[in-house]
Amino acid sequence: MILFLTAIAAVTATPPSEVQHVTLRCLSFDELSVKIAVMNDKNQPTVVEVHNQSFTHELRVPCKDQTLIFYQSQPPSENSPTKEPTWVPLVSAIIPPEGGRFIAILQRTGEQMKLSLVADPEDAEAGGSMRFFNLCQQQVGLSFPGTKQVLDSGKEIIIRPKIAHEEYGQGQFFCLDDGNWRLAGGTRWLQLNDIRTIWFILPTPGQAKTVVLRGIEEKIVSPTDAKSESAPSTTTEAKSPSQSVRSNGSVSNLKVNSTHTKRPAAS
């Protein structure tokens, strides 16, 4: 009988959940500020203010069952002995299989909050590059100096425009409308070899012929330079000579009305 009970216990025991640690920087797309919490290794909340004008500092978060959960606070009940707020799940997302660094994007759709994760690899050679994420439900055409591409929904691309350092460049975005490509957005920027720009391409609510471009500029500096700088906006630490230090970044929005144009030819 003892052997039988031991065997039953071995079969029915629940294996512990696998814990995966990820590194996050968070951004809000809609609300000026959202207070959330993530649980640390001791299952205690780490409270973070997520803004729509800059990234948060880097967060190292343990995730069980490949799931990231953001929590929101609820006021304590009248009978609560501690009078402390209760943290309940706000939104969750499955951890993508690639990499362990992500940009976590909070976006409200109606009454629901949506959490999207996009890869955020460190790259010491990223200065001067542009990275585009197409968060629209349709293809978006890009036309930048030296590059003409059609970017599928949910995809990303990294380009380095053929613009000299400290010179201005112009780029355009296109969307399909009744089989024709229409101008849906544009940007003009100053090309700097120590700046990386991240573009999030978003649909304009209620306007099918325009897109909203949310751009974040990050200063890329070497670890040697980082030691001599004391800028308060730099929130990440220098890791090794092969890695870069990035600032929180500044955010800009742009919306342009549509006009008829030709389809951007693939390069």
Tens digit of each residue's pLDDT (9 = 90 or more) over 5-39: 444 444 455 556 688 999 999 999 878 899 999 99
Q: Residues for the chain: how many in total?
A: 267
User: What domains sit in the chain, N to C, each tagged with a CATH number?
Assistant: 19-119 (2.60.40), 130-255 (no CATH)
Give start and end residues of each alpha helix (H) in the chain.
2-12, 223-228
Of the candidates 227, 158, 161, which has an alpha carbon nearest to the alpha carbon of residue 191?
Answer: 161
| CA distances, 122 to each of 9, 58, 88, 118, 244 (Å) | 46, 12, 32, 13, 7
Tens digit of each residue's pLDDT (9 = 90 or more) over 226-238: 455 544 433 333 2
Residue 246: predicted pLDDT: 52
Interval 79-104 mean pLDDT: 86
Least confident of 112-121, 138-147, 158-167, 241-250: 241-250
Residue 213: predicted pLDDT: 85
Number of Cβ atoms within 10 Å of the Cβ of 43? 7
Confidence of residue 135 (pLDDT cuts 50, 70, 90): confident
Of the candidates 170, 155, 184, 147, which has an alpha carbon nearest to the alpha carbon of residue 261?
Answer: 184
